[in-house]
């Protein structure tokens, strides 16, 4: 069975597109996929009742992405790939990258090929490029490898180790958003006011740097403060919504050490850092029925 994890970006989204570092974690929710020889190439996506054929010029991005991935294999029989998606799409949890990684993993397995997870993540970039135009690569890398890691565009993931697990509570605003549009909006701001936006990216870089130390030292209080600051900087880039802001406040009032939007913003998900597992439930209740707890070992 092929698998691609979802991910939560702890700090550094958007700046990461422009070469600044980010910290992300892989979560256990993701996409499972199976591939088997068939009469023709077909991709089935279970929860959406979708079945599509690869087409490099197709109108559907999924048709083009599937074609891009199949193009990576020579000498193969036609394959039917069946994927089960456990993540909301357009929600900042890396759903599209997780599908790409799971599909590649399933095809590798069906063809009796095995490669390191990091290489699988790199290979899934062609899939992500179809959806996002200019992805940093953080989603596909984390989807394949997991754990807690520092990511810089074009470089291998650097795992961050700690003896304290991170207990995150992820809440979904119910507002879907397009990563491509959000990344384009930040790029426009960068072009029209380069000094202000570069200063914001540099401030985010400092938060990422300090968060690496906070995670390593198991200092969750410091990490929570850094998350709140990153949330404010993302809001200054107009990536927050009233709903997401209210959810972050509700999480803090329910005992979270910090809370922020995650991923592209403009909708999608936020997450909160719980002081420990036993206190996560109260925060989850404050975030609504879609919220879930993700415990990650660093
Ligand atoms: O919302 P998602 O899961 O697509 O995450 C996007 C993260 C960005 O930093 C906004 C874009 C990127 O390519 O890194």
- Indicate the domain borders of the chain: 2-159, 166-296
- CB under 8 Å to 59, separation ≥6 — which residues? none
**95 close to ligand 1 (CB < 6 Angstrom):** no
Question: Which ligand 1 atom lies nearest to the CA of residue 14?
Answer: 9
Taking the C-alpha atoms of residue 3 and residue 143, their distance in angstroms, rounded to an integer, is 9
pLDDT in tens, 256-279: 999 999 999 999 999 999 999 999
- Please name the residue whose Cα sits nearest to atom 1 of ligand 1: 92
Of residues 278, 268, 170, the one with CA closest to residue 227: 170
- Cα of 12 vs centre of ligand 1, distance in Å, is 10
Classified by CATH at the fold level, domain 2-159 comes out as: Ribosomal Protein S5; domain 2 (3.30.230)
For the entire predicted model, the pTM comes to 0.94
Mutate to test the pocket of ligand 1, among 150, 264, 266 (most ligand atoms within 8 A of CB): 264
**264 close to ligand 1 (CB < 6 Angstrom):** yes
pLDDT in tens, 217-247: 999 999 999 999 999 999 999 999 999 999 9
- Cα of 220 vs centre of ligand 1, distance in Å, is 24
Cα angle, residue 219 at apex, residues 218 and 224 outer, rounded to 5°:
120
> Which residues in the chain show pLDDT less than 70?
none
Taking the C-alpha atoms of residue 129 and residue 218, their distance in angstroms, rounded to an integer, is 35
Taking the C-alpha atoms of residue 65 and residue 95, their distance in angstroms, rounded to an integer, is 14
Of residues 168, 167, 169, 144, the one with CA closest to residue 157: 144
Tell me how far CA of residue 264 lies from CA of 46, 99, 187, 255, in angstroms: 25, 18, 13, 25
Which of 105, 122, 139, 219 is the catalytic position?
139
> Is 139 noted as a catalytic residue in this protein?
yes
pLDDT of 176 reads 87
On whether the CB atoms of residues 134 and 67 are closer than 8 A, the answer is: no
Classified by CATH at the fold level, domain 166-296 comes out as: Alpha-Beta Plaits (3.30.70)
- Cα of 175 vs centre of ligand 1, distance in Å, is 16
pLDDT of 163 reads 85
């Amino acid at each position: 069975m092929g698998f691609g994890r979802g991910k939560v970006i702890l700090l550094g989204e958007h700046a990461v597109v422009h070469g600044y570092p980010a910290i992300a974690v892989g979560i256990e929710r993701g996409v499972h996929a199976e591939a088997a020889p068939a009469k023709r190439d077909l991709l089935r996506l279970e929860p959406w009742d979708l079945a599509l054929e690869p087409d490099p010029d197709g109108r559907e991005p999924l048709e083009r992405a599937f074609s891009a991935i199949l193009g990576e294999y020579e000498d193969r029989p036609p394959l039917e790939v069946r994927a089960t998606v456990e993540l909301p799409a357009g929600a900042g949890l890396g759903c599209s990258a997780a599908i790409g990684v799971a599909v590649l993993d399933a095809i590798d397995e069906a063809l009796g090929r095995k490669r390191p997870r990091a290489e699988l993540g790199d290979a899934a970039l062609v899939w992500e490029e179809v959806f996002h135009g200019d992805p940093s690569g953080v989603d596909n890398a984390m989807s394949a490898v997991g754990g807690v890691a520092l990511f810089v565009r074009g470089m291998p993931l650097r795992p961050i180790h700690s003896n304290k697990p991170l207990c995150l509570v992820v809440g979904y605003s119910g507002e879907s958003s397009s990563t491509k549009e959000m990344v384009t909006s930040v790029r426009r701001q960068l072009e029209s006011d380069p000094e202000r936006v570069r200063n914001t990216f540099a401030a985010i870089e400092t938060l990422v740097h300090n968060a690496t130390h906070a995670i390593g030292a198991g200092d969750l209080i410091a990490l929570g403060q850094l998350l709140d600051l990153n949330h404010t900087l993302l809001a200054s880039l107009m990536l927050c919504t009233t709903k997401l802001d209210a959810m972050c406040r509700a999480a803090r009032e329910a005992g979270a050490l910090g809370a922020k939007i995650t991923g592209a913003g403009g909708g999608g998900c936020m997450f909160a850092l719980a002081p420990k597992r036993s206190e996560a439930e109260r925060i989850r209740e404050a975030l609504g029925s879609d919220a879930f707890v993700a415990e990650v070992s660093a």
